[in-house]
């Protein structure tokens, strides 16, 4: 019969979302079916960023990687640390609860992030240290948010507009241009808000436009020394039917929802940089030269707030964010006009499995959670 029944880390904050300088509190719960002799029980709080990718191909391929550590702190719950003075202790059969607290650094630690190439991960690892025997271990992950108040970003509340033209040639004969002009209602958004799009595509060419698409693209740059790579993902999209030669299409108040996403730039991390852009593309038939209009946007954690006069305020003050439990309140700076209260929703992109060291055959599935402002409760009640 195994001596260990279970080893679990339970956090007091059910959202598992924290901000720099906030205190993390919880309990380590140990259940034993037999007496265990241990050197000690300890917790490790760690924040780290990693990037890894392959460049080249075949025999010339090589792996590029880099690591950036934000904190690495060990606290002893009972007994002694490895190499420390003292005797081993016997922990009898039964259940034990060890409370703990940890204050996150007040430095500019980055928002949690995770994908197939790089991540910013925050974890708590518990170790029941057994001499001359295999240690009992378990790990849990939590999300850190480095708040990005859009009211502090110049121009975040102002509209943006761009016009582009593309002339499509057919052998030696040039046809008329394809022209597009598109406008968005502002330049800064939080997850849950809608990008409101107005625009027009005028097709004066002899080609058919197969479709008109608007995509919210996340463009991530990874840096490892002098090596750099960029990856692009589609976070959300709209698609409209195409138009024929000498026809036009108009968009009025089309809405594209911003899903749960990490903040722009990922401040505090030198290995990963995130940018968002709204790309509107008119797919011109039988040619790779499509018309594309790109409008950069910023994704933050606090929405642009319009003041009483309709002007967007740039001043900020502290206000509470109510989490899903009434007992837990997390705080971040916000605008002088109180913004709606967000929930915390897992990132729209895929989860990542991490090995659970208590059971080598088990995995922990973790996805960072970000503030989500439900602006359409009927449509998003299941988020």
Q: What is the pLDDT of residues 126-159, one digit of tens each?
A: 999 998 899 999 999 999 999 999 999 999 999 9
Q: What is the mean pLDDT of residues 253-274?
A: 97
* Torsion, CA 149, CA 151, CA 156, CA 157, rounded to 10: 140
The CA distance from 176 to 208, in Å, is 12
Residue ranges of the domains in the chain?
4-147+348-380, 150-299
Q: What is the mean pLDDT of residues 4-11?
A: 96
Predicted confidence (pLDDT) per residue in 351-367, tens digit: 665 554 444 444 567 89
Q: Decide if domain 150-299 falls under CATH 2.60.40.640.
A: yes
Q: What is the CATH number of domain 4-147+348-380?
A: 2.60.40.640
pLDDT higher than threshold 90 for residue 293: yes
What number of other Cβ atoms are within 10 A of residue 248's Cβ?
12
- Of 380, 348, 366, give the one whose Cα is nearest residue 217: 348
Lowest mean pLDDT among 27-31, 185-189, 336-340, 372-376: 336-340
**Which whole-number Å values give the CA distances from 256 to 55, 204, 239, in the listed order?**
35, 27, 10
pLDDT higher than threshold 60 for residue 377: no
pLDDT higher than threshold 50 for residue 112: yes
Domain pair 4-147+348-380 / 150-299, same fold: yes
CA 60 to chain centre: 33
At residue 168, the pLDDT reads 77
For 330-365, b where at least 16 C-beta lie within 10 A, e where not — what string? bebbbbeeebeebbbbebbbeebebebbbeeeeebe
């Amino acid at each position: 019969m195994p001596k260990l029944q279970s080893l679990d880390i339970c956090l007091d904050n059910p959202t598992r979302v924290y901000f720099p300088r906030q205190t993390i509190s919880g309990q380590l719960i140990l259940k034993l079916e037999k007496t265990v002799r241990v050197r000690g029980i300890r917790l490790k709080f760690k924040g780290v960023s990693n990037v890894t990718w392959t460049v080249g191909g075949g025999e010339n391929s090589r792996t590029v990687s880099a690591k950036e550590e934000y904190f690495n702190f060990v606290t002893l719950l009972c007994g002694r640390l490895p190499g420390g003075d003292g005797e081993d202790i016997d922990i009898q059969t039964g259940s034990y609860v060890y409370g703990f607290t940890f204050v996150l650094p007040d430095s500019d630690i980055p928002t949690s992030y995770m994908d197939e190439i790089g991540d910013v991960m925050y974890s708590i690892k518990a170790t029941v240290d057994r001499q001359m025997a295999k240690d009992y271990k378990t790990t849990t992950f939590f999300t850190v948010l480095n708040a990005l108040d859009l009211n502090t970003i110049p121009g975040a509340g102002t509209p943006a507009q761009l016009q582009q033209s593309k002339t499509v040639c057919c052998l030696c004969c040039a046809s008329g241009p394809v022209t597009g002009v598109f406008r968005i209602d502002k330049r800064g958004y939080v997850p849950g808000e809608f990008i409101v799009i107005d625009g027009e595509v005028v097709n004066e060419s002899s080609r058919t436009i197969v479709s008109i698409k608007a995509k919210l693209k996340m463009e991530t740059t990874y840096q490892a020394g002098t090596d750099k790579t960029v990856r692009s993902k589609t976070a959300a999209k709209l698609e409209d039917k195409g138009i024929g030669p000498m026809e036009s299409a108009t968009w009025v108040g089309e809405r594209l929802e911003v899903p749960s996403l990490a903040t722009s730039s990922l401040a505090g991390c030198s290995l990963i940089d995130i940018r968002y852009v709204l790309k509107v593309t008119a797919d011109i038939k039988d040619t790779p030269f499509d018309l594309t209009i790109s409008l950069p946007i910023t994704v933050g954690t606090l929405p642009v707030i319009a003041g009483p006069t309709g002007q967007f305020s740039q001043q900020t003050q502290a206000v509470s964010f109510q989490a899903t439990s009434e007992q837990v309140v997390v705080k971040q700076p916000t605008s002088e006009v109180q913004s709606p209260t967000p929930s915390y929703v897992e990132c729209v992109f895929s989860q990542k499995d991490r090995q659970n060291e208590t059971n080598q055959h088990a995995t922990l599935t973790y996805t960072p959670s970000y503030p989500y402002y439900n602006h359409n409760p009927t449509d998003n009640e299941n988020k």
